[in-house]
A and B are shown apart, each in its own frame.
Chain A
Amino acid sequence: MKENVLEIKNLHVQFPIHIGTVRAVEDVSLNLRKGEVMGLVGESGCGKSTLGFSILRLLRPPGKITAGEINYHGRNIGNMSQKELLDLRGRNISMIFQDPLTSLDPLYTIGDQFLETLRTHEKGIKKKIALERAVDMLKNLGISPNRLYEYPHQMSGGMRQRIMIGIGLILNPDLLIADEPTTALDVIVEAQFLDLLNELREKFDLTIMFITHNLGVVAQASDRITVMYGGRMVETGTAEDVFADPKHPYTQGLLASVPNIKLEQTELQTMPGAPPDLVNPPPGCVFHPRCPHVMDICKQEVPKSFRANGHMRACWLYK
């Protein structure tokens, strides 16, 4: 088996707010192996982005990691000093965001933003060399080098998202966290973007955590999939396993709610109920109020993780 780039162990992230504590991430453990794409799926507010931000320790206050570890190549990110963190961000781990339209500073040219990143991490780098590297990167992205002297507002959303990736990869990090990178793009640009991501992944030997709520994208882009619900992991497995044979009732419901292209069922399938309140989560399994297979034990005890052939599901059905 390949080495783990990232190991997350029993991670808990909480946001103390005035009405109580939001348990955004509860007891999440997962590993990213070198070179794989891990798709992290779940509905809005299930903690998947929070998980992404906690890897870079970029949680906005009052959010904080209350328990657990995040190890990057065996180094615990939770114990790093501010300086080590600054070196880690951008150089070892990069992150791209949901909205490419607002992720670039509107007052600086693309070139400035490339140079700033390079100069921050490689002190004393010559301007000429830095510019050459930026130009090389733009070529990888299929963008004309002239664009270096343009401002973000002169570009389309898809182009800006490609530039975000380019700035993210300019220092050759081996881990990329993509937080819903295609949500703001239309389907055609999205497809192009996913192709590009795949290409870059091979070229730069990347490990990718792909956070999304779009099941189609995740199916296309990932090797393994983790499904989150209410701050907890409910299922993890290879993309084939999870899509072909979803085990957890939540995953089953999620997949059933995707409209069928052959229009075999004309009515949209939905799951009853609403996402859980993360300040006062239901006792036992967080999904039990909406679960069609609910049992007595589900209301009392948080389900353990049950494994079979590397396919994990946190559900009492598989005890």
Chain B
Amino acid sequence: MLFILLTIVFVVIRIMPGDPVSAMLGGHAPDKVIEAKKAELGLNKPLIVQYGNYLWQVAHLDLGTSMIFKQKVTSAISDKLPATIELTIFGMLVTLLVGVPLGAYAADNRRSGQDYLIRLFGIVIYCIPVYWLGLMFQMIFGVWLDWFPVAGRTSPRVFASTFEQTGLYIIDTLLINDWKALWDVLMHLVLPSLTLGLVLSGIFIRLTRANMLDVLRSDYILAAEARGIRHFPVVYKHGLLNAFVPILTMMGLQVSLLMAGAVLTESTFSWPGMGRLLLERIYLRDYPTIQGVIVIFALIVAFMSLIVDIIYALIDPRVRY
């Protein structure tokens, strides 16, 4: 899978108009300089040779060196990756905490006013573009109400360099017991993760509701009711947990959407993560970095699928064999 993806990215970015050399040197550079630069970067070789070289590198766990900044791609990524991880984890949390309970509640109160409202919310929120929602949140909660900061991971006065170790600022601030800094970091996370999480929660509302409706019709729900089990445990302990199994599977698949959303959220909120790195380097046609970021995204998606399978086995005894 990774290999196919790599091939596609490799070819597509080279088909795109523009190249790193003209991005670096501008349109008016003399041909000689351009040719020299191309030779230096290896861009004058046939495509198939470049491709072979790149694969060889990747096979040795080396993502290469940026064509623009002379910086190892791996170091650029490891600078930015923690920011994206923090954002996506919180985004996912928002998605689950909003989507699953609302969907379950809607299913339990099917065809009531609340059900229609929740479904409407689900559809509308899913249709809203991530960046637009982000802008609205910035305007309402950041500018008008002034509740939350609108950009970056920390306030200018909080110097990340004083605590940066893992790059995951929540863990970093906890490690040095700096509660003020932790608070600052959390406040910065609120709007971006709400933006990212809410948009995806629409899918989860619909998914949870549909699965819950299925489960609530099943015999063991009826049997539990016939035993006099109270409504709440019937719906949430038996119903929701059973409905959660397919939701979990979907969650694994949604990680890719989450990554795509992260790219947009990051540029809206000036979040110094992988998404912004990717966008910047696409403008610069920095081939190795673009490829590297995509590889890491793909690895994250694959890794999350693994995690999902493990959780799946924890919940459902039938797959433990």
Q: Which residues of A contact B (CB under 8 A)?
A: 56, 58, 86-91, 94-99, 102-109, 116-117, 120-121, 151, 153, 164, 167-168
Contact = CB atoms under 8 A, between A and B. Distances in A.
A104 B227 contact: no
Interface string B186-224: 000000000000000000000000000000001110111
Find the residue from B226, B229, B238 having the highest chain A CB count within 10 A: B226
B225 A102 contact: no
A90 B227 CA distance: 4
Interface stretch (B89-97, B157-165, B312-320): B312-320
Nearest to B111: A61
21 contacts: A56-B226, A58-B222, A58-B225, A89-B226, A89-B228, A94-B226, A97-B222, A97-B226, A103-B219, A103-B220, A103-B223, A105-B242, A106-B220, A106-B242, A106-B316, A107-B241, A107-B316, A109-B317, A116-B233, A117-B228, A151-B318
Given A103-B219, A106-B242, A89 B227 contact: yes
B230 interface: yes
Contacts of B223: 95-97, 103-104, 164
Given A106-B318, A107-B316, A107-B317, A120 B220 contact: no
B228 A107 contact: no
A151 B89 CA distance: 33
Interface string B293-321: 00000000000000000000001111000
Contacts of A168: 227
A106 B228 contact: no
Nearest to A106: B318
Contact of A107 (B224, B233, B242): B242
B104 to A, nearest CB: 16
A247 to B, nearest CB: 34
Given A103-B219, A103-B220, A151 B225 contact: no
B230 A120 contact: yes
A121 B241 contact: no
A97 B219 contact: yes
A55 to B, nearest CB: 10
Contact of A88 (B222, B228, B230, B233): B228
Interface of B: 218-220, 222-230, 233, 238, 241-242, 315-318
State the main secondary structure of chain A at its contact with B: mixed
Contact of A90 (B219, B226, B233, B242): B226
Contacts of B218: 102
A109 B320 CA distance: 14
B192 to A, nearest CB: 35
Find the residue from B218, B220, B229 having the highest chain A CB count within 10 A: B220
A86 B316 CA distance: 28
Nearest to A91: B228
A58 B226 contact: yes
A99 B229 contact: no
B115 to A, nearest CB: 14
Given A99-B219, A151-B318, A105 B238 contact: yes
Nearest to B225: A58
Nearest 5 A-B pairs (CB), nearest first? A90-B228, A89-B228, A90-B227, A102-B219, A151-B317
A167 B233 CA distance: 17
A119 B315 CA distance: 23
Contacts of A94: 226-227
Contacts of B317: 106-107, 109, 151, 153
A15 to B, nearest CB: 15
Contact of B220 (A98, A104, A153): A104
Contacts of B220: 102-106
Contacts of B225: 58, 89
A99 B223 CA distance: 11
Contacts of A89: 225-228
Contacts of A56: 226
A10 to B, nearest CB: 24
A89 B228 CA distance: 5
Contacts of B222: 58, 97, 103
A116 B318 contact: no
A104 B219 CA distance: 8
A92 to B, nearest CB: 9
Given A105-B242, A106-B242, A106-B317, A95 B228 contact: no
